[in-house]
Amino acid sequence: MWCDAFRASPAEGWSRWDAAFRAANIAVPGTAAGAEGVLESPAVQQLMAAACDPQKLAAFSDAAGRVLSSRPPTLIHGDCRGDNLFRKDGTDDVRRIARPCSSAFRSLYSLALPSSVSEAERDVSYPGMALSGGQVFAFIDFQMMAAGTPGAELVQLLTGNFPNLDDFDQLEEVVADFHAKLVAAGPDCLASDYSSEDLMEDFRISTILFFLGVVGQLHPTLEALCPVPGEAKHPLWALFGAWFPRMGRCLQQVKCAELFGEMVATVEEGVPPADASAK
């Protein structure tokens, strides 16, 4: 699904995405600070040069589908980004959920509220939502809920939620720790049927698919929201301007361009996709 929108016209989608970011920064400097560096980074340029080749894109999509469908499925949220993750506010009312979590998981997507909004107004009640088992976190927005691989769940959770780009140096450790906790909490078969390498490979594949999907679907949005010199920019630029450099760093950190090429080669050579996890 993520690849379909991009596959329709990959080169056009990418060129319009690129142009929209650059136009926004020219109209109002700093609108998407850091975006141009990502657009020009070797990791992104290499990935997009390959993905804009229709035959290579089709080969990758085929290989990715076979790998992901071979994994033990679980129920995934599908949009597990920070502003869909909430924490109990400490009251006895389990329906009362506080603002999005702070610290490492504070959402880049949660737009800053005006200073005129009071603390009481910033808290939101979600009737009927209960926190079970003594857990302090809860989720909202289940429109993408589906059966899938745990690696796909990590895309939204990890690619956008590290404000300090140097934290991506620890990404492999975070994924390994997630796998250890996943195995401890899951059925016994996970220990033998779903390795840490499998999780990392699924995360890498899903990150590519998600990135291509965003590029394929959102360039009209970027174009429509392009700021006008002298006027206030649309608040959604806070999302794009923060997310894009983080996604670019993630693509580089887990070597997504290299994985794309490796998986395309397996299809072209008629070899089933092997474990291509980052070393």
CA end-to-end distance (rounded Å), the chain: 28
| pLDDT band for position 191 (cuts 50, 70, 90) | confident
Give the pLDDT confidence of 1-14 residue by residue, as tens digits.
556 667 777 888 88
pLDDT at 77: 86
pTM of the model: 0.79
- DSSP assignment of 75-113, as one string? EE-S---GGGEEEE-SSS-TTEEEEEP-GGG--SSSPPP
User: How far is it, in rounded angstroms, from Cα 34 to Cα 26?
Assistant: 13
Evaluate whether residue 275 is within a structural domain: no
Q: For 226-251, what is each residue's pLDDT tens digit?
A: 888 877 788 888 888 888 888 999 99
* Among 109, 53, 122, residue whose Cα is nearest residue 82: 109
Residue 162's alpha-carbon distances to 61, 84, 109, 156, 157, in angstroms, are: 28, 16, 12, 11, 10
The verdict on 115 and 70 lying in the same domain is no
Q: How far apart are CA 218 and CA 226, in angstroms?
A: 12
* Boundary of a domain, candidates 139, 169, 186: 139
pLDDT at 169: 93
Q: What is the DSSP string of 193-239?
A: HS-HHHHHHHHHHHHHHHHHHHHHHHHHHHHHTPPPTTSPPPTTHHH
Question: What pLDDT is recorded for position 133?
Answer: 46
List the beta bridge partners of residue 124.
Answer: 97
Q: Are 25 and 227 in contact (CB under 8 A)?
A: no
Number of domains into which the chain is organized: 2
State percent of the chain over pLDDT 70.
76
180 with 259, same domain?
yes
Residues 220, 134 within the same domain: no
Q: Are 275 and 266 in contact (CB under 8 A)?
A: no
So what's the pLDDT on residue 124? 40
96-148 pLDDT per residue, tens: 333 433 333 333 223 333 344 444 444 443 333 344 444 566 777 888 888 88
Calculate the CA 23 to chain-centre distance: 24
CB 76 within 8 A of CB 153: yes
Asked whether residue 278 is assigned to any structural domain, the reply reads: no
Q: How confident is the model at residue 91 (pLDDT cuts 50, 70, 90)?
A: low
pLDDT given at position 93: 43
Which segment of 102-111, 175-184, 256-265 scores lowest on mean pLDDT? 102-111
Are 123 and 230 in a shared domain?
no
User: Do 48 and 158 share a domain, yes or no?
Assistant: yes
Q: Per-residue pLDDT for 276 more than 80? A: no
Q: Are residues 135 and 167 in the same domain?
A: no
Indicate whether 54 and 183 sit together in one domain. Answer: yes
Average pLDDT, the chain: 77
Q: Does residue 279 belong to any structural domain of this protein?
A: no
206 and 113 within one domain: no
CA dist list (Å): 13 to 7, 9, 18:
9, 6, 9
In a domain, 223, yes or no: yes
Q: Percentage of the chain surpassing pLDDT 90?
A: 28
CA 89 and chain centroid, separation: 27
User: The domain containing residue 127 runs over which residues?
Assistant: 84-139
Residue 18 sits in the same domain as residue 101: no
Q: Which pLDDT belongs to residue 154?
A: 92
99, 123, 139 - which closes a domain: 139
Segment 187-199 shows an average pLDDT of 89
Of 37 and 66, the structure prediction assigns the larger pLDDT to 66
Query: In Å, how far are 88, 106, 209 from 130, measured between CA atoms?
Result: 10, 21, 33
Q: Are residues 44 and 130 in the same domain?
A: no
Evaluate whether residue 182 is within a structural domain. yes
Residue type, 186: G
Residue pair 242/108 in contact (Cβ under 8 Å)? The answer is: yes
| pLDDT confidence of residue 88 | 61
Residue 108 to residue 106: CA distance in whole angstroms: 7
Comparison of pLDDT for 207 and 233, the residue scoring more: 207
pLDDT for position 234: 85
Question: Is residue 276 in some structural domain?
Answer: no
Q: Give which of 95, 114, 5 is closest to 51, Cα–Cα.
A: 5
Please give the Cα distance from 68 to 75 (Å, whole number): 14
